[in-house]
Chain A
């Protein structure tokens, strides 16, 4: 008797649920941090997605960058928060460890498809054979140069430096000082807290034959001969050649924007800000290769993941939404709105994009880029900043600075990988 009643009740509930789901629209929540161009791009994508899927509503919530991780960390254990979430690729392990996000369902996102169609750097999202997140767009580094300052120094404004030796030579020619030797305009910006610490670690270090970490990412390996050589080369830009100065105009990108730096190394995400420059024409070039032609670059990205919150119809809706924001169509829109590069090779390397004077150099770099695996991005960044500060402010020897940095960073890795 009781069994029958229970069965009937169950049947009624499930019939009701199915009927309800059919009739009702599903609402899922999407979170990202505030960056005007990204919010604008996502708003447009949501509009298109809702038009194609009338029974799904996507609610976008945004937070200031500084509060973003804290908000997620506070909301998720309380059973609130997003169904689809955007996160920096360097945070992945923390999010997986906290069980905030689930592996991408294999039916909608087969690993073989991901490996075939996306850039290889996406493999940083793979843990134990499962992909946990996918980017819409990726970013790499390039050299921005001021054509007006090149011309003033007698350089061809359409021939950016191709090697690091040329870079140094051009920087020397474009640096301007007043009578007392104070810098008025830098040949190249030195901004380690900006993108220079990636440039040093993934480009200069590798060009000298080194590698930042062991292949399994568990051991620091930059405290090597190559490390010292590359760090000295970088520090000499200020110490010996005086073609740049840390803190000049406060930030590297500010100096370049103000027309007071001939060259700066920055990411594709800076295109929006530099797009507003009216006072001079600027160009983009691939990062200079080493004298013997070695190239390397750093790529990073923000990814979208499905949290552990949605189940049933909400999970289905979340899958559909994530699939939509990683279509080539969405990627092209993202490129044109935000300036970040499509994460699918096919969408990125169209004739039009590759020959684009601005996007082209960034896109070409994606084929030889490395995405560093961070376990605690901020703490690891701090180690690098302290290292360069000891070299430039306290005249510490490069090898000693690298050893000290390795000694500080290895425990961060150990603490993480022991878990």
Chain B
């Protein structure tokens, strides 16, 4: 019914005086509506991106005119040990952060989905950290990690008679210590998305499975997870980008008025923080832009790869 009536419309549209087909008109209208956002994007997104590629090939300290130096910034980057350390840190944030946070979020969402008692309150509690300013949260966690007598964790350890841990003052423990609140803060968002995904699965599938006497584990593996795929793809890509761009937590937990951001000994420094320091502490804009280009390429590759791997084959 619908299909035939739309065909009639399309035919009658061809007789309009303008001489344009219905389809062309629709396209024209669509583009005229899109023009504003497209223009906006071109000016505030694409133009600066292209500009960054150009700045990356210059030597520019913000004070004088940029001078073209070709790929020298990228060569310097490849030979910079701090860059490789930072690159390794960024990879660690991604490779630890994404799976741990997704696993946690799914487990919580899966069980929360069944909880009826105070469901709304519990969900709100999980979501609350997501609403909090990252800086404020990072500072609270920073205090948690302090040595005795003010640090929460070390006070607990000391109370149990276990040796204090250096946490943020260690080259090995500091990265996980910074990552923990980042995971915790993003959890609420992921839980809510997972729950929406779970709710979207038709209950008839579960009813049918139960009638057939299928175990809970099988239901999870055969029905829930496959049908959650679009949700998982979205969350994987989204949280990967988040962990690759981690900044607030690191900056606030490792710096102070007289600071060592990304320390100790660069153990927690992610790429974005290095870019920030190169640009706004050393005013080495060309070098910072080169780092930005690298980050852009990494984000692009990781996102494309994940979409590829997780899409329905």
Contact = CB atoms under 8 A, between A and B. Distances in A.
Interface string A248-264: 11110000000010000
Interface in A57-84: 69-70, 73-74, 76-77
Q: Pick from B149, B161, B170 the residue with the most CB of A within 10 Å.
A: B149
A182 interface: yes
Contacts of A246: 169
B147 A73 contact: no
A378 B62 contact: no
B168 A247 contact: yes
Contact of A178 (B63, B142, B143, B148): B148
Interface stretch (A4-12, A320-328, A388-396): A388-396
Given A70-B280, A182-B158, A390-B265, A247 B149 contact: no
Contact of B265 (A183, A245, A393): A393
B62 A182 contact: no
Q: Chain B interface: which size bin?
A: 20 to 34
Contact of B264 (A77, A195, A389): A389
A393 B164 CA distance: 15
A193 B256 contact: yes
Interface in A374-415: 376, 378-379, 382, 385-386, 389-390, 393-394
A98 B147 CA distance: 44
B169 A247 contact: yes
B63 A260 contact: no
Interface string B276-297: 0100111100000000000000
Contact of B282 (A376, A385, A394): A376
B261 to A, nearest CB: 10
B158 A250 contact: no
Contacts of B146: 247, 249-250
B282 A248 contact: no
Contact of A393 (B143, B158, B171): B171
A194 B166 CA distance: 19
Q: Chain A interface: which size bin?
A: 35 or more
B188 interface: no
Contacts of A248: 147
Nearest to B61: A98
B161 A180 contact: yes
A108 interface: no
A100 interface: yes
A393 B277 CA distance: 24
Interface in B166-186: 166, 168-171
Contacts of B164: 182
Contacts of B260: 193, 382, 385, 389
A184 B149 contact: yes
Given A178-B158, A193-B259, A386 B265 contact: yes
Given A73-B283, A98-B64, 6 more contacts: A97-B63, A247-B147, A249-B150, A389-B171, A389-B263, A390-B265
Interface of B: 61-64, 142-143, 146-150, 154, 158, 161, 164, 166, 168-171, 256-260, 263-266, 277, 280-283
21 contacts: A70-B280, A73-B283, A77-B63, A98-B61, A178-B158, A180-B161, A182-B154, A193-B256, A193-B260, A195-B258, A247-B146, A247-B147, A247-B168, A250-B142, A382-B260, A385-B263, A386-B263, A389-B263, A393-B169, A393-B170, A394-B265
